[in-house]
């Protein structure tokens, strides 16, 4: 509700201030649309995280939570230990939001943005413990590897922000899958953040679902990508004390299959054409589907379905043996193969029409 309210207010203010996304050759929309949805996303997350920090600081002391601590099976000391991590998460979101907002206004260079993204990602990984151990003891190595993953996911969702409702909607689906994994692992804090993030995006989607009345801009897509990356890294997929199969560690890779496929395929295509991979165009899978005659809504729902299929398969990695894990991986590959077939067909149709 807070996100929807702030998005509505931001939409009206952006329209009056002339903060608009105008139609260009590398964008699919044909009318000027207010920017600033990222402001509402950032504001909602910041307000809730700040409220959480204050609540933890003053109410999570022993004896203050009372029955809540017992019903949630949470030690109040665990809440207090999360303050520093929440603060680093909030600072990272602030920096990425400022970077994205500056890019929305002034169109910053891609390499400058990458440098800032890597710096933020490494600080979050090293000091905020937003990293994956990967059975490696070196904090530096795991932080560097995690920083690369964070930057990859940030840019994957930035690339996905090429059609109404696409980036935020896929982020909602991915976050719900990650929430399921966090719940199965008994992770109260990660699960709580996932729920807050889902609500934030759903409030924004009220105005961003086709036909969009407001865009998130880079100020929104960078924050969305960072929080999704954070959730993939902080969710526990493997429990060493159970000594079970380690297949669940691949869950985030399967959940991110569609966004990563779009990011990698478009990047390779642009490089093959001698273009910068960071210069926008209309060669994304969503654009190819639309050229086949689908509407914006049909295109977005198709990609939602593909993401949901790969994500639902990933949730069963906790319960399967080797044969089941192989089947889930093959299912993901086949879903991506369908995407590849549709892209190839779209290319042929484009050539025929020309």
Q: State how far the Cα of 88 lies from the Cα of 123, in Å rounded to an integer.
A: 8
Beta carbons of 279 and 270 less than 8 angstroms apart: yes
User: Domain extents for the chain?
Assistant: 34-353
Sequence-distant (6+) residues with CB within 8 A of 346 are 288, 289, 291, 292
Q: What is the spatial distance between Cα 352 and Cα 74, in angstroms, rounded to a whole number?
A: 63
Write the pLDDT tens digit of every residue in 236-274.
876 555 545 677 788 899 999 999 998 888 888 888 888
- What percentage of the chain has pLDDT greater than the value 70? 85
- Report, as an integer, the average pLDDT of 19-26: 73
Average pLDDT over residues 293-302: 86
Taking alpha carbons only, the member of 130, 146, 328, 153 closest to residue 245 is 328
Inter-CA distances, 289 with 30, 172, 258, 297, Å: 17, 21, 14, 11
3-state helix, strand, coil in the chain (%, to 5): 75, 0, 25
Q: Is the pLDDT of residue 352 over 50?
A: no
**Where are the strands (E) in the chain, listed by range?**
20-21, 33-34
Distance CA 167, CA 212 (A): 12
Most confident of 205-214, 247-256, 343-352: 205-214
Task: Give the Cα separation of 208 and 37 in Å (integer).
Answer: 8
The two three-digit tokens of residue 265, written as one number = 């395929």
Q: Over the chain, what is the mean pLDDT?
A: 85
Question: Across residues 35-56, what is the average pLDDT?
Answer: 91
Quote the pLDDT of residue 354.
42
Q: What is the pLDDT of residue 85?
A: 86
With a cut of 70, say whether residue 70 has pLDDT above it. Answer: no
């Amino acid at each position: 509700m807070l996100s929807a309210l702030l998005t509505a207010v931001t939409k009206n203010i952006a329209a009056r201030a002339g903060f608009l996304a105008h139609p260009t050759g590398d964008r699919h929309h044909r009318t000027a649309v207010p920017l600033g949805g990222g402001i509402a996303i950032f504001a909602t997350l910041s307000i809730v995280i700040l409220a959480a920090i204050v609540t933890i600081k003053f109410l999570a002391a022993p004896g203050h939570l009372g029955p809540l601590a017992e019903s949630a099976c949470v030690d109040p000391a665990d809440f207090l230990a999360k303050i520093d991590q929440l603060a680093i998460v909030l600072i990272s979101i602030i920096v990425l939001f400022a970077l994205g907002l500056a890019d929305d206004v002034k169109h910053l260079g891609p390499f400058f943005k990458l440098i800032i993204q890597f710096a933020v990602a490494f600080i979050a990984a090293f000091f905020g413990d937003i990293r994956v151990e990967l059975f490696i003891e070196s904090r530096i190595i795991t932080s560097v590897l995690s920083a690369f993953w964070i930057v990859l996911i940030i840019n994957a969702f930035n690339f996905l922000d090429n059609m109404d409702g696409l980036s935020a909607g896929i982020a909602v689906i991915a976050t719900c899958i990650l929430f399921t994994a966090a719940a199965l692992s008994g992770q109260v804090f990660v699960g709580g953040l996932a729920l807050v993030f889902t609500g934030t995006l759903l409030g924004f989607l009220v105005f961003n679902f086709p036909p969009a009345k407001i865009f998130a801009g880079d100020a929104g897509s960078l924050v969305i990508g960072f929080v999704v990356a954070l959730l993939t890294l902080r969710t526990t997929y493997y429990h060493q004390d159970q000594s079970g199969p380690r297949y669940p560690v691949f869950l985030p890779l399967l959940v991110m299959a569609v966004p990563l496929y779009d990011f990698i395929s478009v990047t390779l295509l642009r490089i093959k054409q001698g273009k910068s991979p960071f210069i926008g165009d209309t060669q994304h899978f969503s654009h190819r589907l639309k050229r086949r005659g689908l509407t914006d809504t049909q295109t977005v729902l198709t990609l939602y379905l593909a993401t949901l299929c790969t994500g639902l398969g990933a949730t069963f990695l906790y319960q399967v043996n080797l044969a089941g894990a192989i089947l889930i991986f093959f299912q993901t590959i086949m879903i991506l193969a369908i995407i590849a077939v549709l892209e190839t067909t779209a290319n042929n149709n484009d050539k025929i029409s020309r």
